[in-house]
Structure 1
Amino acid sequence: MGHIAANKDSLIKRVKRIAGQLQAVEKALESDLDCAKTLHLVAATRGAINGLMEEIIEDHARAHVADPALSEEARARGVEELLEAIRRYSK
Structure 2
Amino acid sequence: MAHTIHEKKRLLTRIRRIKGQAEALEKALEQEAECIAVLQQIAAIRGAVNGLMTEVLEGHIREHLGPEAIAPEQRKEDLEQVLSALRSYLK
Q: Distance in 1 between matches of 2:44 and 2:29?
A: 15
The gaps in structure 1 that reach 5 residues or longer are none
Match of 2:74 in 1: 74
> What SS does the aligned partner of 1:68 have?
coil
- Runs of 4+ that moved beyond 2 A: none
Report how many aligned residue pairs link the two structures: 91
The answer on 1:63 being equivalent to 2:54 is no
TM-score norm. by structure 2 comes to: 0.97
Indicate the residue corresponding to 1:31 in structure 2. 31
Query: Percentage identity across aligned positions?
Result: 44
Q: Which residue of 2 aligns with 1:5?
A: 5
1:71 and 1:48 mapped to 2: Cα distance? 34
Equivalence for 1:14 = 14
Deviation at 1:67, TM superposition (A): 1.3
TM-superposed deviation, 1:78:
1.1
Q: Distance in 2 between matches of 1:47 and 1:36?
A: 16
Residues 14-36 of structure 1: per-residue CA shift (max 9 Å, x gap): 00000000000100100000000
Structural RMSD (CA) = 0.7
